[in-house]
Amino acid sequence: MREAFYLLISGDSETWGIIGRSLRFSVFSTIFSVLPGIPVGVALASREFRGRRALSAVINALTAMPTVVVGLFVYSLISRSGPLGNFNFLYAPAGIIMGQALLAFPIVASLSYAGLSKLDPRFRETLITLGAGRFSRLTATVREAKTLLVVAIVTAFGRVTGEVGVCMMLGGNIRFVTRTMTTAIALDTSKGEFERAMSLGVVLLCIALAINLAIHALAPREN
Amino acid sequence: MKRLKHLALGLICLALVAGVGPAAPIATAQSATPANPIVRMATTTSTDQSGLLDYLKPFFEKETGYKLQWVAVGTGASLKVGEKGDCDVVLVHARALEDAFMAAGFGQERKDVMYNDFIILGPASDPAGLASATSAVDAFGRIMKAGSTFISRGDNSGTDVKEKDVWKAASLSPKGAGWYKEVGQGMAQVIVMADQLGAYTLSDRATWLNMKDKFNLKILYQGDKVLFNPYGVITVNPAKWPKTNIEGARAFMNWLTGPRGRELIASYKIGGEQCFYLY
């Protein structure tokens, strides 16, 4: 345990490189999951269309998607023998970000849907009465429900930071390129080198804790 | 809104820090950077976990200007990665699988690289009495007769293929027996498990040398010709997958099997012991 902290405090460059890389991948994959995720959540919450209930049920179910299934699916897409094989996404950061974004998308969509459906239904009617166009309705809705949306985003970030399946299958755990906190922990533990595994575990725990505190602080109180 | 701004600011800072984070390795002026500098290799866990690749990488990169990246997944899986065109070159150790790979046209060229040998590890108490075994086949027979726990890679890696060959040569079939555990993990993981369970296992010498200080296992049998462990390097055939980096793959193959690669492989020692030998 002492060595674990020493690795962190002494600024071991590989350890910090792994932490930075993990966060970078998570930031990008969260962004790419939010871009389609929030509009889908808004659409589900504010419009009536055929198959809406089915779609929300599917998206809810997908929030529990195992990471290895996402990994397998994206692998078959981005392998050289797959339809996106020419882009060199496999065993590269792009593959990890793609898989993690796909993993986080249903979380963002379903949590933002859940958050937005708590809004007063008269809110939307008021906007329409005031003559707001489609885009300004979207931005006004997002502004109104911002804390709930932030909770969705932070939850998605937490999910992708802590997952190991996508990173391992699509990134290949390449040292200095796609080795992340979770895959490094898996590798170090498997080799019986517990010091760095432990120091990365501490960092992951701190991130998880920070995320939960953030959610706790941001989530509106139930009265 | 203020909280939101803070959060956004925080996220941006995070992205910036993460973006700047790990400085890219400083490019050396030694050699011109090739047009397609990244060479992607699929390799067995033993070349990675023995530390050999980490040792070779900086020399190769400095001397040729290429960047070497690898995934360590076992010989069977490495060849599958090559079959799908997801790497440029493979470095593996299971001659029969390599020959099948070449025959199917997935590889362009194959060269011998180096060799070492497999060893049978087990607990110091040696319940199956391997210390007096006369051959690898005899040693495996003793393990089966004693019903001692044996951990098998079970992942179609080079080591796994070798182990299956020895069982076959002994006309024994341990599959499904309670003492025979197929775990589907890399060499280092299997050594950790064998150590925990006080079990026997077959390992390549290099991975064991890199790990032995931390474990109670002992080499209980070695030296049979059957346990010879040769490594080969194969460039993935660009006729199948034109997008692979064949120039980089050739550069690595030629460097590794050339005088510089040979010199470095022979000089790679762990605790004073040589890990890999040259032909």
Q: What CATH topology corresponds to A24-178?
A: MetI-like fold (1.10.3720)
Q: Name the token pair of B121.
A: 């590890």
Interface size, chain A vs chain B, as Cβ–Cβ contacts under 8 Å: 83
Closest chain B C-alpha to A98 CA, distance in angstroms = 17
Question: Are A99 and A25 in contact, with CB atoms under 8 Å apart?
Answer: no
Least confidently predicted of A79-88, A139-148, A201-210, B126-135: A139-148
Closest chain A C-alpha to B71 CA, distance in angstroms = 5
pLDDT of B25: 42
Judged by a CB distance cut-off of 8 A, whether residue B185 touches chain A is yes
pLDDT higher than threshold 90 for residue B54: yes
> Comparing C-alpha atoms, which of A67, A12, A20, A33 is closest to residue A196?
A12
Class for domain B117-228, per CATH? Answer: alpha beta
Mutate one of A191, A193, A194, A216 to test the B interface: name it (highest B CB count within 10 A). A191
Judged by a CB distance cut-off of 8 A, whether residue B186 touches chain A is yes
CA atoms within 13 A of residue B119's CA, in its CB half-sphere: 18
> Comparing C-alpha atoms, which of A211, A130, A168, A213 is closest to residue B14?
A211
Confidence of residue B6 (pLDDT cuts 50, 70, 90): low
Q: Which CATH superfamily is domain B35-116+229-274 in?
A: Periplasmic binding protein-like II (3.40.190.10)
Domains B35-116+229-274 and B117-228 agree in fold: yes
pLDDT higher than threshold 50 for residue B21: no
pLDDT of A128: 86
Judged by a CB distance cut-off of 8 A, whether residue B3 touches chain A is yes
Q: How confident is the model over B224-265, as pLDDT tens digits?
A: 999 999 999 999 999 999 999 999 999 999 999 999 999 999
Mutate one of B20, B57, B84 to test the A interface: name it (highest A CB count within 10 A). B84
User: What distance in Å separates the CA atoms of residue B82 and residue B88, rounded to the nearest whole number?
Assistant: 7
Kindly determine whether residue B15 and residue A27, on different chains, have CB atoms separated by under 8 Å: yes
pLDDT of A220: 67
Residue B198, C-beta contacts closer than 8 angstroms, at least 6 positions apart: B123, B125, B149
CA dihedral B215, B160, B245, A20 (to 10 degrees): -30
Q: How confident is the model over B74-97, as pLDDT tens digits?
A: 899 999 999 999 999 999 999 999
Following DSSP, what letter does each residue of A110-148 receive, concatenated? HHHHHHHTTS-HHHHHHHHHTT--HHHHHHHHHHHTHHH
Identify the closest residue of chain B to A211 by CA–CA distance. B7
User: What distance in Å separates the CA atoms of residue B64 and residue B34, rounded to the nearest whole number?
Assistant: 8
- Residue type at B218 in one-letter notation: K
Kind of pairing between the strands at B180-182 and B228-236? unpaired
The interface predicted TM-score (ipTM) is: 0.75
Q: Where are the domains of chain B?
A: 35-116+229-274, 117-228
Name chain B contacts of A13, Cβ cutoff 8 Å.
22
Hey, which residues 21-50 in chain B have their CB within 8 Å of chain A?
21-22, 25, 40, 49
pLDDT higher than threshold 70 for residue A116: yes
Judged by a CB distance cut-off of 8 A, whether residue A68 touches chain B is no
- Residue type at A213 in one-letter notation: L
CA A44 from chain centre, in angstroms, equals 20
